[in-house]
């Protein structure tokens, strides 16, 4: 049975999940289109992975409803699983097998017909053909990552779930990996990816920010930044550590974050923020200039507005 072609990749409403007395996912509603890369961001332990599993029928919600690829997440999880590729943070390789042998082993486990053709296609699609005979144990992090993605793609899924797939991978390999993801999305494959990297978040078509079980913001990067209504100034020069301490708890200043050799100081009241900064830096060597509010500024701000649902119960 094939999935309905016009159905959204994800369309869920009011999902909740408890583990014991912990409310891990709290009233989550979200929609994602086909061929879209949806990025999940949030602090560790915020329910990102649980949310992804709920939305794709891999975990049953306590309450709520929805569809994944047109299938009901409660009653048609078997059909969903046939169309989903799931790449965890730690993909298990057999180090003493080659890339081809690893992929063949996975294809054999899933009893795929025409295994050689399936493996050849996966090798070609992920530019692994030239390294097919190399042992997995000798691969760099970036090539292991590509092998993991090839294994996920063997059964030609319509939806990919990637749980922090580039953790520990160098910037060049991360950039190449994201180029592969965009090529897959352009071919119509939907992708849900959790990440902590702001540069990766900006590569997603849409974003969802989850903090301790609650969806705090969703939309494009530009929409999320605009929705928070933040103003940001960059402060450089002088003793920035002393200035940061001086700015703590000053009215109009909501957030102070080091950015390289400067501070990003952010608030929602633009006039109060500027006046507070000019007073604090008067007569010092510090220089002020307006700065574009970025995703990192926004997510630090959102973290400050959220409460740890685990900590509250202690």
The pLDDT, as a whole number, for residue 134 is 95
- Its domain, for residue 268, covers 231-292
Domain edge (last residue) among 178, 205, 224 = 224
Look at the chain and count its residues.
Answer: 314
- Are both 157 and 39 inside the same structural domain? yes
User: Which tens digit of pLDDT belongs to each residue from 246-260?
Assistant: 999 899 999 998 888
Instruction: Indicate whether 3 pLDDT > 60.
Output: no
Residue 139 within any structural domain of the chain:
yes
pLDDT band, residue 165 (cuts 50/70/90): confident
- Are both 61 and 138 inside the same structural domain? yes
The count of structural domains within the chain is 2
- Are both 97 and 145 inside the same structural domain? yes
State the CATH number of the domain containing residue 244.
3.30.70.860
Residue 177 within any structural domain of the chain:
yes
Q: What is the mean pLDDT of the chain?
A: 89
Residue 148 within any structural domain of the chain:
yes
State the CATH number of the domain containing residue 124.
3.40.50.300
pLDDT, mean of residues 184-213 = 91
Q: Are 37 and 207 in contact (CB under 8 A)?
A: no
Residue 169 within any structural domain of the chain:
yes
User: Which tens digit of pLDDT belongs to each residue from 227-280?
Assistant: 999 999 999 998 999 999 999 989 999 999 888 899 999 999 999 999 999 999
The pLDDT, as a whole number, for residue 84 is 93
pLDDT, mean of residues 158-171 = 85
User: Which tens digit of pLDDT belongs to each residue from 29-72?
Assistant: 999 999 999 999 988 888 888 998 899 888 999 999 999 999 99
User: Which tens digit of pLDDT belongs to each residue from 92-105?
Assistant: 788 999 999 999 99
Q: Are 295 and 243 in contact (CB under 8 A)?
A: no
- Are both 206 and 245 inside the same structural domain? no
User: Which tens digit of pLDDT belongs to each residue from 175-188?
Assistant: 888 999 999 999 99
Domain edge (last residue) among 184, 207, 224 = 224
Residue 300 within any structural domain of the chain:
no
Q: For residue 313, count CB atoms less than 10 angstroms from its CB and return exposed for 0-12, middle for 13-18, buried for 19 or more.
A: exposed
pLDDT band, residue 90 (cuts 50/70/90): low
The pLDDT, as a whole number, for residue 218 is 93
Residues contacting residue 136 through CB under 8 Å, at least 6 positions apart: 93, 94, 95, 96, 97, 98, 99, 102, 144, 147
Strand order in the sheet with 71-72: 22-32, 10-19, 63-68, 71-72
- Are both 145 and 263 inside the same structural domain? no
Higher-confidence residue: 32 or 198?
A: 32
- Are both 46 and 146 inside the same structural domain? yes
- Are both 184 and 246 inside the same structural domain? no
- Are both 73 and 219 inside the same structural domain? yes
Instruction: Indicate whether 225 pLDDT > 50.
Output: yes
pLDDT, mean of residues 101-124 = 91
Domain edge (last residue) among 177, 200, 224 = 224
- Are both 247 and 185 inside the same structural domain? no
Instruction: Indicate whether 1 pLDDT > 80.
Output: no
- Are both 154 and 244 inside the same structural domain? no
- Residue 34: name the closest of 202, 153, 160 by CA: 160
pLDDT, mean of residues 75-88 = 91
Residue 44 within any structural domain of the chain:
yes
pLDDT, mean of residues 195-208 = 89
Give the angle 48-90-75 at the CA atoms, nearest 5°. 50
Q: Are 9 and 184 in contact (CB under 8 A)?
A: no
- Are both 34 and 172 inside the same structural domain? yes
Instruction: Indicate whether 310 pLDDT > 70.
Output: no
Instruction: Indicate whether 18 pLDDT > 60.
Output: yes
Residue 297 within any structural domain of the chain:
no
Strand order in the sheet with 262-267: 255-259, 262-267, 231-236, 287-291
- Are both 29 and 114 inside the same structural domain? yes
247: left (phi over 0), alpha (psi -120 to 50) or beta: alpha
pLDDT band, residue 307 (cuts 50/70/90): low
Residue 5 within any structural domain of the chain:
no
The pLDDT, as a whole number, for residue 313 is 46
pLDDT band, residue 5 (cuts 50/70/90): low
The pLDDT, as a whole number, for residue 308 is 56
User: Which tens digit of pLDDT belongs to each residue from 128-160?
Assistant: 999 999 999 998 888 888 899 999 999 889 999
């Amino acid at each position: 049975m094939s999935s309905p072609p016009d159905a959204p990749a994800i369309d869920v409403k009011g999902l909740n999940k408890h583990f014991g007395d912990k409310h891990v996912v709290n009233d989550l509603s979200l929609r994602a289109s086909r061929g879209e890369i949806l990025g999940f961001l949030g602090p560790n332990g915020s329910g990102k992975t649980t949310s992804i599993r709920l939305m794709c029928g891999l975990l049953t919600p306590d309450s709520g409803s929805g569809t994944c690829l047109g299938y009901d997440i409660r009653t048609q999880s078997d059909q969903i699983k046939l169309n989903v590729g799931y790449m965890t943070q730690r993909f298990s390789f057999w180090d003493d097998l080659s890339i081809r042998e690893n992929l063949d082993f996975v294809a054999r486990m899933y009893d795929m017909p025409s295994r050689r053709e399936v493996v050849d296609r996966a090798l070609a699609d992920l530019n692994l053909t030239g390294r097919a005979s190399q042992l997995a144990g000798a691969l760099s992090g970036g090539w292991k990552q590509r092998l993991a993605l090839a294994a996920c793609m063997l059964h030609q899924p319509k939806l990919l779930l990637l749980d922090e797939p580039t953790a520990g991978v160098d910037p060049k390999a991360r950039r190449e990996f994201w180029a592969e993801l965009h090529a897959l999305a352009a071919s119509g494959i939907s992708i849900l990816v959790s990440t902590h990297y702001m540069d990766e978040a900006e590569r997603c078509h849409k974003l969802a920010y989850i903090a301790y079980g609650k969806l705090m913001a969703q939309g494009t990067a530009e929409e999320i930044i605009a929705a928070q209504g933040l103003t940001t100034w960059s402060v450089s020069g002088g003793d920035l550590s002393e200035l940061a301490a001086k700015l703590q708890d000053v009215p109009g200043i909501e957030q102070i974050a080091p950015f390289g050799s400067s501070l990003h100081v952010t608030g929602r009241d633009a006039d109060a923020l500027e006046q507070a900064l000019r007073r604090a830096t008067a007569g010092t060597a510090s220089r002020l200039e307006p700065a574009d509010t970025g995703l990192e500024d926004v997510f630090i701000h959102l973290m400050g507005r959220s409460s740890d649902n685990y900590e509250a119960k202690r």
